[in-house]
Amino acid sequence: MADAQGVMVFLETADNKLTGISLELLGAAHKLAKELNQSVSAALVGSGVKGLAAEAIAFGADKVFTVDDANLANYVSDAFAGVAERLVKQVAPAIVLLGQTAIGRDLAPRLAFRLGVGLSTDCIDLAIDPQTKNLLQTRPVYGGNARAVFATNTRPQMATVRQKAMSSIERDASRKGETVTVDAGLNPSTLRIKFIKKVKEEVTGVKLEDADVVISGGRGIGGAEGFKQLEELAKILHGAIGATRSACDNNWVPTTTQVGLTGKIVAPTLYIAVALSGASQHMAGCSGSKTIVAINKDPEANIFKEAQFGIVGDYKQIIPALTKKVKELVG
Ligand code: FAD
């Protein structure tokens, strides 16, 4: 793609809305395109998604390519990869961005392979090199202990972006853009993967990835009972419960609460880390939090190096006192 131009993002939808990461991708693309003096295109692929094109424009897209087909109602790798490949070849962008989500993690490498280009996954920063105009792709390496910046010579330059690492732009319903309808060109009989059923994760209260406050417990919590104390505080703060792998492996909390390298990535405003040591694999999932508060009985625990505020002591005494005070403060 010698004449590759512009930034293209792959949007995701849920409950008939663009997801948070989609808005963040549009925000990132808007910033990069401005630096390149080029435009933002968005791929809106699914079933019944056409109506969301205006929303994508309001959040920064200049051109939206909608592929609306009943066979695309649920994500299936081969159907989406085929559509994505055709779209990228048609649009010929210089940069392609996807979310570091379940879909993005599956789709991006397939698409990169089909296009014969490189891919940086889980990027936490994107910038344009002022000299070469290449996309500089920053991602954590060595289990979150270091950051590396990558650039690729192939076009399009492809990256998946970590959730909450980028900011969306303010919604502007008066923004003007173009919508292009593209035929899916799918022959269902040639698809090798069949969608069977979707099992929705049961969430009571706030979803961990979306929570503004996360209270995570580690091995030092000592059992499922201890997590009940954290839940009480989380409820008052409208927060969600997270956990380390040790706590999940012990079945004190569901594995869906695991935060870290092999768990979920969160970036809340407030992350309260309780009775966990702050291993790099755990921090890989929460280091993007705005403020980290650590509660640990060991003053030498690594988590105190990562936290902005720390309380040294037994959580069994600190959490009830903190809960009482927070209750008073929030009424
Ligand atoms: P510990 O390291 O044992 O820490 C317990 C802490 O609790 C200690 O600091 C102790 O001082 C404190 N404590 C004990 N009692 C109390 C008390 N009463 N009050 C206050 N403080 C107390 N881990 C993850 O979390 N997420 C991941 O995604 C993840 N992925 C991994 C992937 C790989 C490939 C590998 C090798 C490991 C991974 N791990 C992950 C595991 C990780 O390396 C650590 O082993 C784990 O995070 C440690 O959990 P912890 O902090 O709960 O336990």
- For residue 165, give both structure tokens: 């690492």
**Any atom of ligand 1 within 6 Å of the Cβ of 315:** yes
> Cα separation of 125 and 136, whole Å?
8
Q: Which residues contact 200 (CB under 8 A, 6 or more apart)?
A: none
- Tell me the CA–centroid distance for residue 221 and ligand 1, in Å: 10
**Any atom of ligand 1 within 6 Å of the Cβ of 312:** no
**Any atom of ligand 1 within 6 Å of the Cβ of 94:** no
Ligand 1 atom closest to Cα of 243? Answer: 25
Ligand 1 atom closest to Cα of 278? Answer: 51
Ligand 1 atom closest to Cα of 298? Answer: 11
Could you give the C-alpha distances from 10 to 21, 95, 119, 293, in angstroms and in order? 10, 11, 14, 35
pLDDT of residue 188: 87
Encode pLDDT of 304-319 as tens digits: 999 999 999 999 999 9
- For residue 73, give both structure tokens: 């109602």
Cα separation of the two ends of the chain = 60
- Tell me the CA–centroid distance for residue 280 and ligand 1, in Å: 9
- Contact criterion met (CB below 8 Å) for 58 and 172: yes
Could you give the C-alpha distances from 178 to 63, 82, 175, in angstroms and in order? 5, 23, 10
**Any atom of ligand 1 within 6 Å of the Cβ of 229:** no
Which amino acid makes up residue 115?
L
Which amino acid makes up residue 140?
P
Ligand 1 atom closest to Cα of 277? Answer: 9
pLDDT of residue 146: 85
- For residue 54, give both structure tokens: 């205006």
- Tell me the CA–centroid distance for residue 278 and ligand 1, in Å: 6
User: Which residue, judged by its Cα, is nearest atom 37 of ligand 1?
Assistant: 281
3-class secondary-structure state, position 202? coil
Q: How many CB atoms lie within 10 A of CB 120?
A: 23
- For residue 157, give both structure tokens: 């330059």
**Any atom of ligand 1 within 6 Å of the Cβ of 244:** yes
- Contact criterion met (CB below 8 Å) for 167 and 26: no
**Any atom of ligand 1 within 6 Å of the Cβ of 216:** no
Burial class (CB in 10 A: 0-12, 13-18, 19+), 157: buried
User: Which residue, judged by its Cα, is nearest atom 3 of ligand 1?
Assistant: 219
User: Which residue, judged by its Cα, is nearest atom 31 of ligand 1?
Assistant: 281
pLDDT of residue 282: 95
How many angstroms from the chain centroid is the CA of residue 278?
A: 21
pLDDT of residue 37: 97
pLDDT lower than 70: segments of the chain: 1-2
The torsion defined by the Cα of 10, 33, 65 and 91, in degrees rounded to 10, comes to: -100
3-class secondary-structure state, position 139? strand
pLDDT of residue 2: 60
- Tell me the CA–centroid distance for residue 215 and ligand 1, in Å: 14
3-class secondary-structure state, position 291? strand
pLDDT of residue 1: 62
pLDDT of residue 210: 86
Ligand 1 atom closest to Cα of 247? Answer: 52
pTM listed for this prediction: 0.83
**Any atom of ligand 1 within 6 Å of the Cβ of 277:** yes
